[in-house]
């Protein structure tokens, strides 16, 4: 039977990052994915400042720059009453943009191939994991379906990086994600979209509320386009997301820009487990990273950054478990502490912001005031830069701040 230090299930950003960081620490890793790379992943393809930070650490920025990508240097918002606000990202000393838009077909393959080429990483593609192996209440490996045959593979630690419908999370009995902490979204690609800039667009227009419609620009007038909504609201209002996309494209604000645009494929749906209620991401012999651990930003829907970062944090704890020769939850629980320190404050703030954003009058007020107030625009702009984002996000998520704006 094959035996590894670490088995990583899932080769998305979370799994490839975990594999690379573990491999750099000298651990022998098996990375398993049911898909064969390159593969698509339903996503907005927005690569934010946090993602850029970890991708830089993994020396992947030059790979992004030499493949198909669009640079992102700001955000365009529109409000329910149709006001449009354009926010520039603060200028940096370096030429690096605030973020990128990279199709996941491209981005995930770059990270996956980097992991695959590391001498300490073995890879199994086109191989679904179908179960975990347990002994005395501890996870000791996985069962894969290898070309129709069941195969057992052992490791000291199994990392579930298998996304929103994680089989590892299910098999270890992790909590179900509540609808208050879960989003359903659909997206497709369009070509021929007019009027795009080097900015991602978030449209809080009436046609899609209480969700938002996004346009993330790609090269050659192509764009990633979609709508997302909190599952609780979606069920309560019986919203059809496909119809919501149609309505957004035909809205007064956007119809001219989509006049000659053509969809490049079907709308595809996927779920977003939000970090407003993280899952317990550790136990005897296992850790969960990325979407499997429910780490997505509850306001923006971004999860690539936290998937990459959680992979790094997982590797720190796995290395410690090795040095102690103890893979029990007593040691692995330190992962939860690292997640708490690195992410919880931001996740909480972004959840507060998401809740404020459910009030239509506040969306109208915020966008209207920011159009006329350069200081407010500067605050929003500063949230786009990793180094300064927290202090400004906190401001924007504070109802008192908006009360002051209202009476100013």
Ligand X SMILES: Cc1cc2nc3c(=O)[nH]c(=O)nc-3n(C[C@H](O)[C@H](O)[C@H](O)COP(=O)(O)OP(=O)(O)OC[C@H]3O[C@@H](n4cnc5c(N)ncnc54)[C@H](O)[C@@H]3O)c2cc1C
For CA atoms 251, 255, 257, 259, the dihedral sign is: positive
Q: Can you tell me which of 4, 5, 8, 11 binds ligand X, judged by CB under 6 A?
A: 11
- List the interface residues with ligand X, window 213-232 (CB under 6 A): 226, 228
- List the interface residues with ligand X, window 389-408 (CB under 6 A): none
User: Residues touching ligand X: how many (CB under 6 A)?
Assistant: 41
Q: What is the 3-state secondary structure (H, E, C) of the chain?
A: CCEEEEEEECCCHHHHHHHHHHHHCCCCEEEECCCCCCCCCCCCCEECHHHHHHHHHCCCHHHHHCCCCEEECEEEEECCCCCEEEEECCCCCCCCCCEEECCHHHHHHHHHHHHHCCCCEEEECCCCEEEEEEECCEEEEEEEEECCEEEEEEEEEEEECCCCCCHHHHHCCCCCCCHHHEEEEEEEEEECCCCCCCCEEEECCHHHCCCEEEEEEECCCEEEEEEEEEHHHHHHCCCCHHHHHHHHHCCCCCCCCCCCCEECCCCEEEEEEEHHHCCCCEECCEEECHHHHCCECCCCCCCHHHHHHHHHHHHHHHHHHHHHCCCCHHHHCHHHHHHHHHHHHHHHHHHHHHHHCCCHHHHHHHHHHHHHCHHHHHHHHHCCCCCCHHHHHHHHCCHHHHHHHHHC
- Listed ranges 31-39, 72-80, 239-247, 330-338: which one lies at the site for ligand X (CB under 6 A): 31-39
Q: Quote the least distance from Cβ 101 to ligand X, whole Å.
A: 8
Rounded to a whole number of angstroms, the CA Rg of the chain reads: 21
Q: Quote the least distance from Cβ 228 to ligand X, whole Å.
A: 6
Site membership for ligand X, residue 185 (CB under 6 A): yes
Site membership for ligand X, residue 304 (CB under 6 A): yes
In the complex with ligand X, the residue whose CB is nearer, 163 or 283, is 163
CB 278 within 8 A of CB 347: yes
Q: Quote the least distance from Cβ 201 to ligand X, whole Å.
A: 12
Q: Quote the least distance from Cβ 29 to ligand X, whole Å.
A: 14
Site membership for ligand X, residue 302 (CB under 6 A): yes
Q: Give Cβ neighbours of residue 372 (< 8 Å, ≥ 6 apart).
A: none
Q: Can you tell me which of 163, 211, 275, 281 binds ligand X, judged by CB under 6 A?
A: 163
Q: Dihedrals φ, ψ of 287, to 5°?
A: -135, 155
In the complex with ligand X, the residue whose CB is nearer, 5 or 297, is 297
In the complex with ligand X, the residue whose CB is nearer, 163 or 376, is 163
Q: Quote the least distance from Cβ 403 to ligand X, whole Å.
A: 31
- List the interface residues with ligand X, window 248-277 (CB under 6 A): 270, 272
Site string for ligand X, 275-294 (x = CB under 6 A): ---------------xxx--
CB 129 within 8 A of CB 168: yes
- List the interface residues with ligand X, window 99-138 (CB under 6 A): 128-129
Q: Quote the least distance from Cβ 299 to ligand X, whole Å.
A: 12
In the complex with ligand X, the residue whose CB is nearer, 163 or 210, is 163
In the complex with ligand X, the residue whose CB is nearer, 244 or 304, is 304
Site membership for ligand X, residue 33 (CB under 6 A): yes
Q: Can you tell me which of 6, 20, 31, 43 binds ligand X, judged by CB under 6 A?
A: 43
Q: Quote the least distance from Cβ 293 to ligand X, whole Å.
A: 8
In the complex with ligand X, the residue whose CB is nearer, 245 or 397, is 245
Q: Quote the least distance from Cβ 310 to ligand X, whole Å.
A: 8
Q: What's the CA gap between 332 and 288, in Å, rounded? A: 11
Q: Quote the least distance from Cβ 31 to ligand X, whole Å.
A: 9
CB 19 within 8 A of CB 144: no
In the complex with ligand X, the residue whose CB is nearer, 81 or 268, is 268
Q: Quote the least distance from Cβ 308 to ligand X, whole Å.
A: 8
Q: Quote the least distance from Cβ 145 to ligand X, whole Å.
A: 9
**Where along the sequence are the contacts to ligand X (CB under 6 A)?**
9-15, 32-35, 41-46, 48, 51, 128-129, 161-163, 167, 185, 187, 226, 228, 270, 272, 290-292, 296, 301-305, 307
């Amino acid at each position: 039977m094959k035996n590894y230090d670490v088995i990583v299930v899932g080769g998305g950003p979370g799994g490839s990052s975990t594999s690379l960081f573990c491999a750099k620490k000298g651990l022998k890793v098996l990375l398993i994915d049911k898909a064969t790379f390159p593969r698509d992943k339903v996503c907005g393809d927005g690569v934010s400042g946090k993602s850029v930070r970890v991708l830089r650490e993994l020396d992947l920025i030059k790979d992004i720059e030499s493949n198909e990508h669009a640079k992102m240097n700001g955000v365009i918002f529109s409000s329910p009453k149709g006001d449009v606000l354009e926010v520039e990202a603060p200028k940096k000393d370096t030429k690096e943009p605030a973020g990128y838009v990279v199709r996941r077909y491209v981005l995930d393959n770059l990270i996956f191939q980097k992991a695959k080429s590391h001498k300490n990483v073995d890879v199994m593609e086109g191989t679904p994991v179908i179960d975990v192996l347990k002994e005395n209440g501890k996870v000791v490996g996985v069962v894969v379906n290898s070309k129709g045959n069941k195969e057992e593979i052992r490791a000291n630690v199994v990392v579930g990086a298998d996304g929103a419908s994680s089989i590892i999370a299910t098999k270890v009995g992790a909590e179900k994600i509540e609808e208050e902490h879960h989003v359903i979204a659909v997206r497709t690609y369009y070509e021929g979209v007019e009027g795009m800039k080097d900015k991602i667009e978030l449209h809080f227009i009436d046609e899609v509320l209480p969700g938002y419609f996004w346009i993330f620009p790609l090269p050659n007038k192509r764009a990633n386009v979609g709508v997302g909504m909190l599952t609780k609201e979606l069920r309560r209002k019986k919203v059809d997301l496909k119809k919501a996309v149609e309505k957004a494209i035909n809205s007064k604000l956007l119809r001219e820009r989509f006049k000659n645009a053509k969809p490049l494929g079907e709308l595809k749906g996927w779920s977003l487990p939000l970090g407003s209620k993280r899952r317990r991401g550790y136990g005897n012999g296992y850790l969960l990273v990325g979407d499997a651990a429910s780490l997505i930003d509850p306001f923006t829907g971004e999860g690539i950054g936290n998937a990459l970062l959680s992979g790094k944090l997982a590797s720190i704890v796995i290395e410690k478990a090795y040095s102690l020769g103890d893979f029990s939850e007593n040691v692995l629980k330190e992962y939860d502490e690292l997640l708490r320190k690195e992410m919880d404050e931001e996740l909480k703030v972004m959840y507060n912001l998401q809740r404020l954003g459910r009030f239509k009058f506040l969306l109208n007020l915020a966008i209207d005031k920011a159009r006329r107030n350069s200081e407010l625009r500067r605050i929003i702009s500063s949230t786009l830069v990793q180094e300064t984002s927290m202090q400004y996000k906190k401001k924007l998520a504070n109802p008192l701040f908006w009360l002051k704006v209202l009476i100013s």
